[in-house]
Structure 1
Amino acid sequence: MRKVLVVEDEVLIRLTLVDALHEAGFDVVDTGSADDALEIMNEQTIHLLFTDIQLPGKLTGVDLAQMVAERFPDAGIIVASGRIRPTGADLPTGAKFFAKPYRFDQIIASLKAMSRR
């Protein structure tokens, strides 16, 4: 089963997305910060990443996306934000950006497509 790491500091959004991903058949681990996400990455293989851009701590979601792309080159990556719109050069190759508010069905469809690569 493909493992999705969800990194979102807004708890209600994170928990709702985690529930939707579980219902769609994904194995999900989640956290509210990039620092905690790095710890998870040290312990587990990540196949897919969903991250908000603005996160507590020193790292942004874009930083985290770059680290996941380097460590897990085949990982599918989705970056989301309601405030910041990154340029294509900011994101790893193949990463997708979603502006908030997004629809969970769009996120799930994108992650499913990425998991088939």
Structure 2
Amino acid sequence: MPNSLLLVEDDGLIRMDLADTLLDIGYEVVEAANADEALIAFGKKQFATLLTDIDMPGTMNGIALAHHVAAKSNECKIVIISGRYHPVQGSLPQGAQFLMKPISQKSLLEALDVAGLKP
């Protein structure tokens, strides 16, 4: 679990690009296309970090997913990404980080480093 990351992104190309980047660096990555798939993955495995988009189809958006995960696991770090929305102050779970798309590899690595996740 020390370097396990759940990547939740509905855009397949963005998800693939992020997953490839993270895998190349040495992270263990599990992919989900929406919050519903992510919840199934969380039921099967513990993750060190959740990296989720905000806007996606399904029963909940990324912010709701982040709050759900934060309520279930104190240990899972959360990084939220979006190309459309900038969350208002206080809307993210305690300790969660936000990155605006497009995400550079440098900013992604810095966010994961702050979250305490190392490859």
- Contact between 1:2 and 1:115, CA under 8 Å: does it hold in 2? no
Q: Which one-letter code corresponds to 1:17 in the other structure?
A: L
Q: Conserved in 2, the CA contact under 8 Å of 1:46 and 1:72?
A: no
**Structure 2 Cα separation of the partners of residues 12 and 105 of structure 1:** 19
Separation (CA, whole Å) in 1 of partners of 2:36 and 2:87? 21
Q: Does 1:69 align with 2:78?
A: no
Alignment of 1:1-117 (within 5 A): 1-115=2-116
| Displacement of 1:88 | 2.6
Instruction: Name stretches of at least 5 consecutive residues in structure 1 with no aligned partner.
Output: none
SS of the aligned residue for 2:15 comes to helix
SS in 2 for 1:90: coil
1:51-93: CA deviation from partner (whole Å, max 9, x where unpaired): 0000111200001111111112122111111111112311011
Q: CA deviation at 1:105?
A: 2.4
RMSD: 1.5
The alignment covers a number of residue pairs equal to 117
How many percent identity over aligned positions?
35
The structure 1 segments of at least 4 consecutive aligned residues displaced by more than 6 Å after TM superposition are none
Higher fraction of helix: 1
Work out whether residues 50 and 78 of structure 1, in 8 Å CA contact, stay in contact via their aligned partners in 2: yes
- CA deviation after TM superposition for structure 1 residue 115, in Å: 2.2
Relative to the length of structure 1, the TM-score reads 0.92
